[in-house]
Homo-oligomer: A and B are copies of this chain.
Amino acid sequence: MSSTSRSSAGREPSRRRPRVLGGDGVPTLATVADEAGVSRQTVSNALNNPELLRPETLVRVQSVIERLGYSPNRAARQLRTRSSHLVGLRFEPAQEGTSNALMDRFLHSLVEAASRTGHHLLLFSGDPADPLDGYEDLLRSTAVDAFVVTDTYAGTPQAGFLQDRGAPFVAFGRPWDDPRADHAWVDVDGAAGARLATEHLLDQGHRRIAWLGWERSSRISQDRRSGWEAALREAGVDPVGLGVRLTDNVDAARMAAHRVLEDATVTAFVCASDTLAVGVLHALAERRVQPGAQVGVVGFDDSAAAQVTWPGLTSVRQPLEQVAVELVRSLHRVLGHQPVEEQGRMLEPTLVVRRSSERGWKP
């Protein structure tokens, strides 16, 4: 009898007998099984399909797991299930434009959201000259289950590449003008944000409201600008001549603002970024004009700068926490090969009002 249960015990010293302790004394499935007097498979089930176990067995196994402080070895599980529970994110060195200032907040939210579904974030870097560098390798080595792509704005090739490769991913940023794109995405409605800002300024009694945005090639800026333009037209204000395009830079904005303010009928600015808005505030300071009371200013992204800049910069805030949650939700659908109920999801930004746009405020 004993020879059946412990097969070939004497002949082959430690061959067919599974090891009961991992390399560093870390408990394995076998340790737990041994201790609980069940088979390894039962322990595995206790973890992955607890409903299959008789309640008393389950409790016994769980208590052993608890007592031993056992956690399943990730590599082994990953090898078997072909799923690492890792989500890859290429972390770019400081980019110009929006994404940079937001990264911190976004990353927090994403780590948080991912962890709620048992996923971790894998950060990797790549040759700045090659936007695709790094993805291929992680894919082939099956290191990650999926990617989050964050910079689809500039018509970047990542999305197309991953789509062609059949790699699971979701994008923060809509596919703009790529008709081939049919991947999941989440984005924030920039036009709605600019509209929010513009209508707020109109409410404050401003009429001739200028726009400071980036180069025409920036889809993001064009999108936001369209919201400003629509809001103005609806209010019966002609936007022609009120829009300026420049690079995302405090000093460029400062000088542009000076130029715009030569037209004394202009009393407010909506900007495509906080950086530009700060430039406007600098110009106002130089002209000894009161922000808020005399000239209204609204920025975009509610960055740290907006929060500490005197006298407080009103800004459009992206719901990054929600973006992260939606991205993870999409990721699950993609990974579960569930029917994608919706291709993309557009979220609404909010306006954080501070003194730079409050007519009634005086220092």
A interface list, Cβ under 8 A from B:
22-24, 26, 69-76, 78-79, 82, 84, 86, 91-94, 100-101, 103-105, 107-108, 111-112, 115, 120-125, 136-137, 140-143, 250, 275, 278, 281-282, 285-286, 303-305, 308-310, 363
Chain B's closest residue to A303 (CB) is: B304
Residue from B92, B304, B363 in contact with A305 in the complex, judged by beta carbons closer than 8 Å:
B304
Given contacts A104-B104, A304-B303, contact A71 B111 (CB under 8 A): no
Q: Are B121 and A108 in contact (CB under 8 A)?
A: no
30 A–B contacts, CB within 8 A, in A order: A24-B82, A69-B136, A69-B140, A71-B140, A71-B141, A73-B142, A74-B84, A74-B141, A75-B75, A75-B79, A75-B82, A76-B79, A79-B79, A91-B108, A92-B108, A93-B112, A94-B105, A100-B104, A103-B104, A111-B125, A115-B124, A120-B123, A121-B123, A122-B123, A250-B308, A282-B310, A304-B304, A305-B309, A308-B309, A309-B309
**Distance in Å from the Cβ of A210 to the closest Cβ of chain B?**
20
**Distance in Å from the Cβ of A247 to the closest Cβ of chain B?**
14
Provide the residues of chain B in CB contact with A26, threshold 8 Å.
140, 142
**Lowest 5 CB-CB distances: which A-B pairs, in order?**
A75-B78, A71-B140, A75-B79, A121-B123, A71-B141
Q: Are A123 and B142 in contact (CB under 8 A)?
A: no
Given contacts A112-B125, A115-B124, A305-B304, contact A75 B84 (CB under 8 A): yes
**Distance in Å from the Cβ of A292 to the closest Cβ of chain B?**
14
Chain B's closest residue to A284 (CB) is: B310
Provide the residues of chain B in CB contact with A120, threshold 8 Å.
122-124, 143
Chain B's closest residue to A286 (CB) is: B363
Provide the residues of chain B in CB contact with A79, threshold 8 Å.
73, 75-76, 79
Please name 9 further chain A to chain B contacts, defined as beta carbons within 8 Å, in addition to the given A74-B78, A74-B141, A74-B142, sorted by A numbering: A94-B104, A101-B304, A120-B122, A121-B122, A278-B308, A278-B309, A281-B310, A304-B304, A304-B305
Given contacts A78-B75, A141-B73, contact A308 B310 (CB under 8 A): no
Q: Are B282 and A71 in contact (CB under 8 A)?
A: no
**Distance in Å from the Cβ of A108 to the closest Cβ of chain B?**
5
Which of A26, A79, A125, A275 is packed against the most chain B CB atoms within 10 Å? A125
Q: Are A111 and B140 in contact (CB under 8 A)?
A: no
**Distance in Å from the Cβ of A128 to the closest Cβ of chain B?**
10
Q: Are A91 and B71 in contact (CB under 8 A)?
A: no
Provide the residues of chain B in CB contact with A107, threshold 8 Å.
91, 107, 123
Q: How far is the CA of A104 from the CA of B125 in the complex (A)?
A: 14
